[in-house]
Amino acid sequence: MLAIMKNAKHIIWDWNGTLLDDRWLCVESINQALKKRYLPALSDDRYMEVFTFPVQEYYKAVGFDFDKEPFIVAGDEFVDYYGKHFHRVDLHEEAVSALQQIQERGRSQSVLSAGRQDYLNEWIIEHDLTGFFMKVLGIDNHYATGKTIVGKGWMEEMPYDSDEVVMIGDTIHDSEVAKAMNVDCILVTHGHVSRKRLKKTGRVIVDDLSEVKQLLA
């Protein structure tokens, strides 16, 4: 575990679920759409067992029938509800102190998110986090299959070799993106995917950001 961080000069953070504590709002948002269709609500535990990318597959897994209606209908309902309640979301405990510690140790940082760029920009500016990141990358299409292309583009642009970069995320998709970018990856269990599923990736697993801080101590 320590070896992963030893040569790291740059940390790429996932946003939703990793730094931002928004799983509860995602569960609430999807349950609003499920309720409208008289489908069973998701528990928090069930959500972490089925959430995946591309999100269309996750929607199918929880009961949406895209033979009856296009994916975009339910997807738009999720986005609208999430957007209306986004102001209720906060960072995970230890998030700011982890960012501060990494910065103090001379490592640069960026954000690579599959979340909407406008939400990402608004939140980071509103909470005065811009000084921590040399780049903040989201996506403009909620229905994109992920952030791999954006991540690979960022690797080509940044002034570091792949063995000097570590990604920190909370999903299987983050592990897949890190592999595509040829960088090491640490996964935290306080986000959108269960520990059991994350362990199958073979990545280093930590339970919260205080453990990330310990790796950098």
Nearest to 164 by CA among 121, 110, 100: 110
- Domain at 15, CATH number: 3.40.50.1000
Confidence of residue 126 (pLDDT cuts 50, 70, 90): confident
- Give the pLDDT confidence of 50-83 residue by residue, as tens digits: 999 888 999 999 999 999 999 999 999 999 999 8
Same domain, 202 and 97: yes
- Give the pLDDT confidence of 13-51 residue by residue, as tens digits: 999 999 999 999 999 999 999 999 999 999 999 999 999
For residues 26 and 82, the answer to whether their CB atoms sit within 8 Å is yes
In this prediction the pTM is 0.93
Same domain, 201 and 106: yes
Q: Name the residue with higher pLDDT: 216 or 147.
A: 147
Which range marks the domain in which residue 49 is found? 23-88
pLDDT computed for residue 144 by the predictor:
60
> Is the preceding peptide bond at 54 cis, omega within 30 degrees of 0?
yes
Same domain, 7 and 48: no
For residues 206 and 190, the answer to whether their CB atoms sit within 8 Å is no
Q: Say how many domains are in the chain.
A: 2
Domain boundary, last residue among 88, 105, 130: 88
- CA–CA separation, 62 vs 34, rounded Å? 8
pLDDT at residue 110 above 80? yes
Same domain, 139 and 159: yes
What single DSSP character describes residue 193? S
Same domain, 14 and 102: yes
Same domain, 84 and 100: no
